[in-house]
Amino acid sequence: MTELDRKQDRAPVPKEWTYAPAPESRDVVKLQDRYGLFIGGEWLETKESYETISPSSEEVLATVSQGSPEDVDTAVTAARAAYSNGWSSLPGSERAKYLFRIARILQERSREFAVLESLNGGKPIKESRDVDLPLAAAHFFYYAGWADKLEYAFPNRKPTPVGVAGQIIPWNFPLLMLAWKLAPALACGNTVVLKPAETTPLTALLFCDVLRQAELPPGVVNIVTGDGRTGAALVEHPGVDKIAFTGSTEVGKAIQRQLAGTGKKLTLELGGKAANIVFDDCALDQAVEGIVNGIYFNQGHVCCAGSRLFAQESIYEPLVEKLKKRLETLRVGDPLDKNTDVGAINSKMQLDRIKELVAAGEEEGAEIYQPPCVLPEKGYWFAPTVFTNVAQSYRIAQEEIFGPVLSVLTFRTPEEAVEKANNTPYGLSAGVWTEKGSRILWMAQQLRAGVVWANTFNRFDPTSPFGGYKESGFGREGGLHGLEPYLRFDE
Ligand code: NAI
Ligand code: MG
């Protein structure tokens, strides 16, 4: 037990905050050595395969299939058959039953999924347990509720399903992005071919067991693993009626070019470089928590991460001092430890990208701060980082780093804050910290961002639409708006 510091009549506090390790047990997850593709309710073997690892230890977890264009074709054929053989004409109230079942099973098995998500992706267990899993289940519950109310959601517009949806998702929220994509698609009566990201296929593969438990008709959901080539084959397939993509702006642009003139529907949820704007009248300690949550949550692998902090000049010094102090208390390490705040970087490729941009920041003249922390030897790690003395022209102020790296800039007036915040090709999210309600509303109107949080950050809810402006993409996921991309209207 650490020694306690007693000061007069105040409650004693430990001199040092050392925690005993509190690892979550891995025993709840039973992995197969090999996974095929989940097509038409069956497991299909492929010619090519690859190994998926745990980024925190580089341990091989399983061998996973690399879907070929022929496999994608088989999956699209299965999805089309399921669409025509009953799913699309099922009453909404019947489709809802399956979605409610999936939601409940996810809740029942949430510990198992949370452990696997942290194992395969590197995120802290407290996040997969308290954020990813509850939200994934909530999305299925929410869209289950819409399935039999589409006529009311879009009165006099005669909504009908689109057909077969091809869905491509990234590695930062593997199961949650699966839920964001599947729930509205199924609620609207579509069938799906979904491709998980190459580094994080395991929760999607385990999810196939949930589909079996829920007795979803075969072929309604097909999971095809593989890298970008598999994704490209899905985008190109003439039997797909709609593409939903979440990932890099670069690939999003390529997909949009590819689909031009094909008549396929498209939604893109791409990168971001969000401004988190702190005014001098805000609750400063609360803002510091919001800044930390905004950029170090999920190792900063968040498209809407608050990666550009704009501090009003009058509070710049105390804010940065408080922030640096708070960083010292962040616990970086084993994703399965319940005390961990910052886990492993998702892949070697992503770590290299973060390192390259951080080196650019130092070279261009920004001042770097990292709290003292011992990083594990194996696996992919990056210490929480703050850059001060950042000019707007620096790469670290312009490009998406997608890592635990914050760039601090300053402003004097609200007008200047708006101008600087909007000075980016992206427009996914923003944060405003101030006591004044009128200022919040004015800022929200001026900021060119799909989501504006006030006195909070990184809050998600299935009822609230999410999506971007400019190069952050188009189309909305979540809420009533999230149904539209999966429907046709005979107007
Ligand atoms: P990526 O865009 O290459 O990968 C996302 C998904 O797209 C994966 O499932 C991938 O297999 C698939 N994909 C790749 N190439 C494709 C193609 N030509 N056609 C169809 N699908 C394709 O992203 P990556 O390379 O993993 O990360 C690069 C950067 O992108 C990150 O550093 C980050 O800045 C950004 N990113 C943004 C995300 C977001 O949530 N907005 C998610 C992931 C990455
Ligand atoms: Mg890529």
Give pLDDT tens digits for 293-348: 999 999 999 999 999 999 999 999 999 999 999 999 999 999 999 999 999 999 99
- Structure letter (DSSP) for residue 337: B
- Quick: pLDDT tens for 104-120: 999 999 999 999 999 99
Question: 19 pLDDT band (50/70/90 cuts)?
Answer: confident
Judged against a pLDDT cut of 80, whether residue 166 lies above it is answered with yes
Atom of ligand 1 nearest to the CA of 234: 20
- 3: pLDDT confidence band, cut at 50, 70 and 90? low
Residue 218: which residues within 8 A CB-CB, separation 6 or more?
40, 41, 42, 78, 82
23 and 337 Cβ atoms separated by less than 8 Å: yes
Binned at pLDDT 50, 70 and 90, residue 2 comes out as low
* pLDDT (mean) for 381-392: 98
pLDDT at 12: 77
- Is the CB–ligand 1 distance for residue 243 below 6 Å? no
pLDDT at position 4, please? 67
Residue 376 has pLDDT above 80, yes or no: yes
Q: Would you state the pLDDT for residue 396?
A: 98
Distance between CA atoms of residues 206 and 278, nearest Å: 42
Closest C-alpha among 30, 170, 181 to residue 111: 30
- Segment 412-451, tens digit of pLDDT: 999 999 999 999 999 999 999 999 999 999 999 999 999 9
Q: pLDDT tens, 167-224?
A: 999 999 999 999 999 999 999 999 999 999 999 999 999 999 999 999 999 999 999 9
Structure confidence at residue 6 (pLDDT): 65
Q: How far is CA 45 from CA 32, 85, 159, in A?
A: 14, 25, 37
Q: Whose CA is nearest to atom 27 of ligand 1?
A: 248
Q: How much distance in Å is there from the Cα of 284 to the middle of ligand 2?
A: 38
Any ligand 1 atom below 6 A from CB of 400: yes
Predicted pLDDT of residue 292: 98
Atom of ligand 1 nearest to the CA of 195: 9
Instruction: Assess whether pLDDT exceeds 70 at residue 54.
Output: yes
Residues 6+ away with beta carbon under 8 Å from 407: 307, 308, 309, 361, 366, 387, 390, 394, 396, 397
491: pLDDT strictly greater than 90? no
pTM here is 0.96
pLDDT at residue 1, rounded to an integer: 45
Residue 458 CA, ligand 1 centroid: distance in Å: 21
Report whether 234 contacts 193 (CB < 8 A): yes
Query: Cα–Cα–Cα angle for 120, 124, 130, nearest 5°?
Result: 110
pLDDT for residue 303: 98
Beta-carbon contacts of 428 under 8 Å, excluding residues fewer than 6 positions away, are 270, 271, 272, 274, 303, 304, 449, 450, 451, 467, 468, 469, 472, 473
Give the pairing of strands 451-454 and 191-195. unpaired
- Residue range 385-408: average pLDDT? 98
Residue closest by Cα to atom 14 of ligand 1: 228
> Is 133 within 8 Å of 175 (Cβ atoms)?
yes
Q: What is the pLDDT of residue 11?
A: 77
269 assigned to active site: yes
CA 248, CA 389: separation in Å to the nearest integer? 28
